[in-house]
Amino acid sequence: MERKGFVKKYKNFEEAQADQWVFNPEKDYFEKVLFMLSMGLLKRIGSKFPRGVFKYESFEDAQEDDLQWILRD
């Protein structure tokens, strides 16, 4: 069962960095990545988010901030 909307916690930076990689991708993973690359979405979305780690009281607060970063420009 896939959990959506949860925060994954890591004990150290190396553990978090290793979790970025997809070693066993699902069937549609490459289609999604190629689509995003062809649209230039990864470059545009990645440049909108400020660097750093942010702490929030609730998941809704984090989503609100996330939405503001995406919509600004």
Residue 3 domain-assigned? no
Kindly report, residue by residue over 5-36, the tens digit of the pLDDT. 667 788 998 888 887 777 788 888 888 778 77
The count of domains in the chain is 1
Cα separation, 1 vs 37, whole angstroms: 29
Task: Give the range of the structural domain holding residue 58, as residue numbers without chain letter.
Answer: 13-71
Residue 8 domain-assigned? no
Residue 41 domain-assigned? yes
Task: Please work out, in degrees rounded to the nearest 5, the angle formed at the alpha carbon of residue 24 by the alpha carbons of 19 and 27.
Answer: 125
Model confidence at 1, in pLDDT bands (50, 70, 90)? very low
Residue 30 domain-assigned? yes
Lowest mean pLDDT: which of 41-45, 49-53, 66-70?
41-45
Residue 6 domain-assigned? no
Residue 4 domain-assigned? no
**DSSP secondary structure, 22-56, as one string:** -SS--TTHHHHHHHHHHHTHHHHHHTTSPSS----
Residue 46 domain-assigned? yes
Kindly report, residue by residue over 36-45, the tens digit of the pLDDT. 777 666 566 6
Q: Report pTM.
A: 0.34
